A and B are shown apart, each in its own frame.
Chain A
């Protein structure tokens, strides 16, 4: 009897294994011209091409991968309309309108400033946006803009906690200085600091700003040095943060004072731009930072695929975190689209427009659950009402031997209420 049962089970199992490839290809089959359109902009020219160009390549390669190997989203090919915003905020408004007009289901930006310029009209129209780099003011109050990762305020909280728990060995309250890029990046970090510094027992002793195109921060760092901080947090883009760090080294602030960086700048380009000192050592050696995605050296399926496509199409981008960041964002978008297609079908989404946008939000973004983004991010994708961060995990990294390596486990970033925005 038992033998017979085993035989039946083996046959069933065998048939199931044989049928598996057929079953997986039995999803909806897209007809000619049936695509899911999305709009994507990057600042590929203008003041931050070192972020925009690899970000653009990450988008394009991820879409190619999804369409070639993952059968698109829910069985329908993804079609990405890419535009170069040139970091021109007036132009961002027309680009978003273009995306809405051409029937895109959602859009992404590659900088929090771009999203800030886009979100007024997008929120008004109910056009969902996914911000690859996110400031506090993009997500608060929660409307139609979402983040695939935590925001810059969360970066500050994570760095401050890590400093207190693992680095600070003094007594009393540590003194912290902030060197912030003027704009949404720096403001997001400042928001986090102002909301949580007192609670974490940290004294903010100096706040300085730098410009996107800064070439010297000796003056501002001299003021910071006079306050004798224990820790300096730099929040900028790779180029501007490298200038701040180099000047901190010139003034003898670093090493000595702990230097930590937020996610927008803590990428390999920052280490490269900071360069080496006279002894041949990396200037950025030993600095700490926070990131929302894994490094290129980690053994996860997402990195393997990104490496494969980058090798084929854009080999110079291997090792670039902006590339990996947008690659992960496109996978997040694929999951959103696939979920929406599964819940409401392709026809309801086909033409775009306000009804489709609403479905993307209600039946896509708000229904995704448990997607691991091929291991590229720390958490899994899920929506919590009132919190538009779809993945809430981040990790602390350090520059060791010129490479950015993780030094902590993934940790959850709790939602911070920002009274100035969440009115």
Chain B
């Protein structure tokens, strides 16, 4: 970890600390106070946006472990979310299991399905692996659409709100706290996974899998572990999406979402803990901005061609991803690191 000038680590505990200096702790505290008091000044609309961002962060953090750290390109994350969403909806709705059990089962279920589709990763990589994960997306969506007895088929399912110990998460504010808590836990766990032996093995596989194998890393085991963990996160996110939307159907998990998630980790920064957070926040807020801006543009410039303002969103998403790939391929988290370094070294930034 980069440390401010003059700060040295003298113990292993200091070396391992995520928040090392008082400034770190202070900024963390400010952030937590901001996040936990958000319902006081956020209206229900912004809370619903925050909830969607939180769910997206969980899904994208899982994808980042799989793709950003382990180098296994997956374009089926929305499909794995569907596994989690339906698992949780069925367990709560049909079998009356408590939500905490259901959400864990959703994660495990999605993880196991992810492992199944991850098996080809031992033989194929890169573009070919991406194609096999696209297959996962379509197969999963086909199954949930046609397994009518269990999933409700194309009608989808009504889903009960999440509840823990008799407390029902019905309002936007209560859902916000639920999602916030799980998001913080998910990011914290992901950060720590990246620092463990497993995380280092992921990085070794990503950088050069042949070299990693000669070093004694069991490629099959670690690749499948990466698929399990990445899809576990997707399952958790899917479960939260289902319980906060009150319904679930295949329409919630389009292929384009899987592509968008890849865009988020590219924009945020592959292989960093901060990247998925920044990417998800940036693209979701961009979407909100365009959704709000479009009607205004239409009334301000009535001469624009029909459908032009609506078409801004997809054009902008594409443009932003291309611009990041060209000008900042290491993503927003790298830009953030540069900003921090400039602050620390100022006025001697050279």
Interface residues of A (CB under 8 A from B): 44-45, 49, 52-53, 56-57, 60, 81-84, 86-91, 93-95, 97-98, 100-102, 113, 116-117, 119-121, 124, 137, 180, 182-184, 186-187, 190, 209, 313-314, 316-317
A176 to chain B, nearest CB (A): 19
B221-269 contacts to A, CB under 8 A, are: 241, 244-247, 249-252, 254, 257
Residues of A within 8 A of B314 (CB): 45, 86
Residues of B within 8 A of A182 (CB): 145, 154, 250
Q: List 15 A-B contacts (CB under 8 A).
A: A44-B307, A44-B310, A84-B291, A84-B310, A86-B314, A88-B254, A89-B245, A91-B291, A93-B48, A94-B288, A98-B45, A101-B44, A102-B45, A116-B249, A186-B154
Per-residue interface assignment for chain B, residues 51 to 86, with 1 indicating a CB less than 8 Å from any chain A CB and 0 otherwise: 010010000000000000000000000000000000
B293 to chain A, nearest CB (A): 10
Interface size bracket, B side: 35 or more
Within 8 Å by CB of A187, from B153, B241, B287, lies: B153
- B313 contacts chain A at the CB level, 8 A cutoff: yes
B246/A84 in contact, CB under 8 A: no
B313/A84 in contact, CB under 8 A: yes
B272 to chain A, nearest CB (A): 25
A403 to B306, CA, bound (A): 24
B154/A183 in contact, CB under 8 A: yes
SS class, residues of chain A in contact with chain B: helix
B249/A45 in contact, CB under 8 A: no
- The chain B residue with its CB closest to the CB of A99 is B45
Within 8 Å by CB of A117, from B251, B287, B294, B306, lies: B251
Within 8 Å by CB of A95, from B47, B158, B291, lies: B291
A323 to chain B, nearest CB (A): 11
A53/B49 in contact, CB under 8 A: no
A89 to B252, CA, bound (A): 5
B172/A97 in contact, CB under 8 A: yes
A94/B310 in contact, CB under 8 A: no
With A82-B295, A182-B145 as given contacts, are A120 and B247 in contact (CB-CB < 8 Å)? yes
B251/A89 in contact, CB under 8 A: yes
With A91-B287, A94-B48, A187-B155 as given contacts, are A45 and B246 in contact (CB-CB < 8 Å)? no
Residue of A57, A116, A314 most packed against chain B (CB within 10 A)? A116
Residues of B within 8 A of A314 (CB): 306
B154/A187 in contact, CB under 8 A: yes
A370 to B172, CA, bound (A): 39
B48/A57 in contact, CB under 8 A: no
Within 8 Å by CB of A90, from B153, B156, B245, B313, lies: B245
With A45-B313, A97-B48 as given contacts, are A116 and B156 in contact (CB-CB < 8 Å)? yes
SS class, residues of chain B in contact with chain A: helix
A150 to chain B, nearest CB (A): 18
Within 8 Å by CB of B52, from A90, A190, A209, lies: A90
Residues of A within 8 A of B146 (CB): 209
- B170 contacts chain A at the CB level, 8 A cutoff: yes
A37 to chain B, nearest CB (A): 13
B49/A94 in contact, CB under 8 A: yes
Residues of A within 8 A of B52 (CB): 90-91, 93-94
B44/A117 in contact, CB under 8 A: no
B244/A100 in contact, CB under 8 A: no
Per-residue interface assignment for chain B, residues 146 to 182, with 1 indicating a CB less than 8 Å from any chain A CB and 0 otherwise: 1000000111101100000000001010000000000
Within 8 Å by CB of A45, from B43, B48, B310, lies: B310
A186 to B254, CA, bound (A): 18
- The chain A residue with its CB closest to the CB of B155 is A187
A111 to chain B, nearest CB (A): 10
- The chain B residue with its CB closest to the CB of A213 is B255
- B4 contacts chain A at the CB level, 8 A cutoff: no
A81 to B298, CA, bound (A): 12
A158 to chain B, nearest CB (A): 21
Residues of A within 8 A of B306 (CB): 53, 57, 314, 316-317
A375 to chain B, nearest CB (A): 26
Within 8 Å by CB of B307, from A49, A89, A120, A180, lies: A49
With A84-B294, A84-B310, A183-B251 as given contacts, are A93 and B244 in contact (CB-CB < 8 Å)? yes
- The chain B residue with its CB closest to the CB of A185 is B154
New A-B contacts (7) at CB < 8 Å, excluding given A100-B45, A120-B159 = A56-B310, A89-B252, A90-B257, A93-B52, A102-B45, A116-B251, A120-B158
A95 to B170, CA, bound (A): 17
A184 to B52, CA, bound (A): 23
B245/A117 in contact, CB under 8 A: yes
A97/B154 in contact, CB under 8 A: no
A-B residue pairs, 5 tightest by C-beta: A120-B246, A44-B310, A97-B48, A101-B45, A187-B154
A101/B43 in contact, CB under 8 A: yes
A142 to chain B, nearest CB (A): 15
- B311 contacts chain A at the CB level, 8 A cutoff: yes
- The chain B residue with its CB closest to the CB of A84 is B310
A94/B295 in contact, CB under 8 A: no
B148 to chain A, nearest CB (A): 10
A190 to B306, CA, bound (A): 35
A318 to chain B, nearest CB (A): 12
Residues of A within 8 A of B49 (CB): 94
B236 to chain A, nearest CB (A): 15
Residue of B55, B158, B247, B310 most packed against chain A (CB within 10 A)? B310
Residues of A within 8 A of B153 (CB): 187
Residue of B172, B249, B287 most packed against chain A (CB within 10 A)? B249
A45 to B308, CA, bound (A): 10
Residues of A within 8 A of B313 (CB): 45, 84, 86
A113 to B247, CA, bound (A): 11
Residues of B within 8 A of A56 (CB): 310
A49/B310 in contact, CB under 8 A: yes
Residues of A within 8 A of B145 (CB): 182, 209
With A82-B295, A316-B306 as given contacts, are A89 and B246 in contact (CB-CB < 8 Å)? no
A119 to chain B, nearest CB (A): 8
A235 to chain B, nearest CB (A): 11
With A53-B310, A98-B45, A182-B145 as given contacts, are A89 and B154 in contact (CB-CB < 8 Å)? no
With A45-B311, A94-B49 as given contacts, are A124 and B246 in contact (CB-CB < 8 Å)? yes
Residues of B within 8 A of A317 (CB): 306
